[in-house]
């Protein structure tokens, strides 16, 4: 399945670099359009292929993912803003289809090697941006994202693939890419990413005391180098947001407030989100936000996705793949506890590639089929096409929205 692997690689790269200055959020909608297009192409390729292994459909991971999709869909009955709910529901189903495609077609060696080159390119471009920036902490755009946090986490998610190739093939390019990514992450001073890497590394090398000592030295050195790491202002603000989110969850713990409706409901709880104009659009904790929006069953299903994925690392045939992907998944989980990678196409695709590679390497009985299911293909095609249409409309809305914002700033209404 060489063709499908190259399509997958192109899709991941596009989801990491697409950037538009003409919309309000330069990376959000345009990358979801890319995700839809790549998933659509992969689905068509798989449908046209006569023989394929669909053993992923028999895994507990797929079952949990379906439960999460269903609970997210049911939450729409409680949504105040149905448009936001529909957009989130479609995104979840598209990610499910993308995950299945990855688990069927992905070749770990090819995917990892190409992602090493992607990490190398990102690292060089990031280093150039850091050198060029007058003040790293106040820079609005570094790399291919808006803000340091999302960019630093993007580099973090590429690190496991560089580490895999470095340990597996003793590749000097992969070793250099790994070092370059780590240097960039340190310079970007993103505390949530630091914490993610520390926890993920600790869990992964828990049995190796020498590596734990080096890790402890590295952590102490970072805290001594950067005074910013001692600042707890943003953490206090997050605790305030989380407290209000817990109150929202307590009002409707079964179905939640509706997918995508956290930002619609929370303003009803006053101005307890900090001293600034406006309000948060996100809970800065994906797990809590999922519980609030989809209820207790949706939240538990979302957590179960990662728990089951980590269980797969215990029995994967390739131990280096298992350890590096475990590091990546735990890093994503910790970062998601303090931020919002779930809404970002690149972050979601990368973590699903990790999980898909684990499923592909898991010792399960193969389930080869030679027939083509028209009903399944029509369902997937309809979901992806509808999601693509919705995201294109949202892109157009953001185009006009940005023009309105600029007109207001310039006081130019003509």
Residue 272 has pLDDT above 70, yes or no: no
Residue 275 has pLDDT above 50, yes or no: no
Cα–Cα dist 187/74, whole Å: 43
**What DSSP assignment string belongs to 234-298?**
HHHHHHHHHHHHHHHHHH-TTT-S-TT-HHHHGGGG-STT-SSSS--SS-S-HHHHHHHHHHHHH
Per DSSP, the three-state class of 146 is strand
Q: pLDDT class for 281, splitting at 50, 70, 90?
A: confident
Residue 411 has pLDDT above 80, yes or no: no
At 54-113, the pLDDT tens digits run: 888 889 999 999 999 999 999 999 999 999 999 999 999 999 999 999 999 988 999 999
Residue 5 has pLDDT above 80, yes or no: yes
| Mean pLDDT in residue range 179-201 | 89
- pLDDT at position 102, please? 94
Q: pLDDT class for 220, splitting at 50, 70, 90?
A: low
Helix segments in 75-147, DSSP class H: 82-105, 108-132
- pLDDT at position 56, please? 86
At 17-34, the pLDDT tens digits run: 999 888 888 889 999 999
At 255-265, the pLDDT tens digits run: 899 999 998 88
At 389-407, the pLDDT tens digits run: 999 999 999 888 888 877 7
At 155-188, the pLDDT tens digits run: 999 999 999 999 999 999 999 999 999 999 988 8
Cα–Cα dist 340/27, whole Å: 14
- pLDDT at position 277, please? 44
Positive or negative CA dihedral for 313, 317, 322, 323?
A: positive
pLDDT above 70 covers a percentage of the chain that reads 85
**What DSSP assignment string belongs to 310-370?**
HHHTTT-S-HHHHHHHHHHHHHHHHHHTTS-GGG-HHHHHHHHHHHHHHHHHS-----EE-
Cα–Cα dist 65/71, whole Å: 10
- pLDDT at position 276, please? 40
Q: What is the pTM of this model?
A: 0.91
Per DSSP, the three-state class of 145 is strand
At 293-328, the pLDDT tens digits run: 999 999 999 999 999 999 999 888 888 999 999 999
Cα–Cα dist 65/63, whole Å: 5
Q: Which pair of structure tokens corresponds to residue 309?
A: 């994925």
Give the DSSP H/E element, type plus range, for residue 62. Answer: helix 60-74
Of 171-175, 181-185, 279-283, 356-360, the poorest mean pLDDT is in 279-283
Cα angle for residues 394, 154, 8 (degrees, 5° grid): 70
DSSP 144: T
Cα–Cα dist 162/171, whole Å: 9
Residue 204 has pLDDT above 70, yes or no: yes
Of 143-147, 282-286, 379-383, the poorest mean pLDDT is in 143-147
Distance of CA 65 to the CA centre of its chain: 15
- pLDDT at position 117, please? 96
């Amino acid at each position: 399945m060489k063709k499908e692997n190259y399509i997958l690689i192109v899709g991941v790269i596009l989801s990491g670099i697409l950037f538009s200055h003409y919309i309000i959020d330069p990376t959000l909608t345009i990358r979801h359009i890319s995700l839809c297009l790549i998933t659509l192409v992969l689905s068509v390729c798989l449908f046209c292929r006569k023989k394929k292994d669909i053993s992923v459909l028999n895994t507990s991971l797929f079952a949990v993912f379906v439960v999460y999709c269903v609970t997210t869909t049911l939450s729409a009955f409680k949504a105040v803003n149905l448009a936001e709910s529909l957009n989130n529901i479609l995104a979840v189903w598209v990610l499910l289809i993308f995950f299945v495609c990855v688990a069927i077609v992905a070749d770990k060696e090819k995917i990892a090697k190409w992602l090493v080159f992607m990490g190398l390119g990102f690292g060089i471009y990031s280093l150039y941006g850091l050198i060029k920036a007058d003040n790293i902490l106040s820079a609005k755009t570094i790399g291919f994202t808006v803000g340091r946090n999302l960019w630093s986490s993007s580099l973090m998610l590429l690190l496991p693939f560089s580490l895999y190739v470095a340990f597996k093939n003793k590749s000097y390019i992969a070793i250099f890419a790994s070092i370059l990514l780590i240097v960039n992450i340190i310079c970007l001073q993103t505390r949530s990413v630091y914490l993610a890497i520390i926890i993920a590394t600790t869990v992964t090398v828990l049995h190796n005391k020498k590596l734990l000592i080096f890790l402890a030295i590295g952590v102490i050195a970072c805290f001594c180098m950067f005074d910013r790491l001692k600042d707890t202002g943003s953490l206090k603000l997050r605790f305030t947001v989380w407290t209000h989110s817990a109150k929202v969850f307590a009002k409707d713990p079964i179905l939640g407030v509706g997918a995508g409706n956290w930002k619609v409901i929370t303003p009803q709880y006053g101005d307890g989100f900090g001293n600034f104009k406006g309000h948060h659009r996100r809970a800065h904790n994906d797990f809590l936000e999922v519980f609030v929006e989809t209820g207790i069953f949706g939240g538990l299903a979302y957590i179960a996705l990662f728990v089951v994925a980590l269980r797969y690392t215990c029995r994967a045939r390739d131990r280096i793949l298992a350890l590096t992907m475990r590091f990546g998944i735990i890093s994503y989980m910790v970062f998601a506890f303090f931020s919002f990678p779930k809404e970002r196409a690149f972050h979601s695709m990368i973590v699903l590639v990790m999980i898909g590679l684990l499923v592909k390497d898991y010792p399960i009985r193969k389930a080869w089929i030679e027939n083509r299911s028209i009903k399944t293909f029509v369902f997937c095609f309809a979901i992806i096409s509808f999601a693509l249409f919705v995201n294109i409309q949202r892109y157009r809305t953001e185009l006009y929205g940005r023009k309105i914002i600029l007109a207001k700033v310039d006081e130019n209404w003509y």
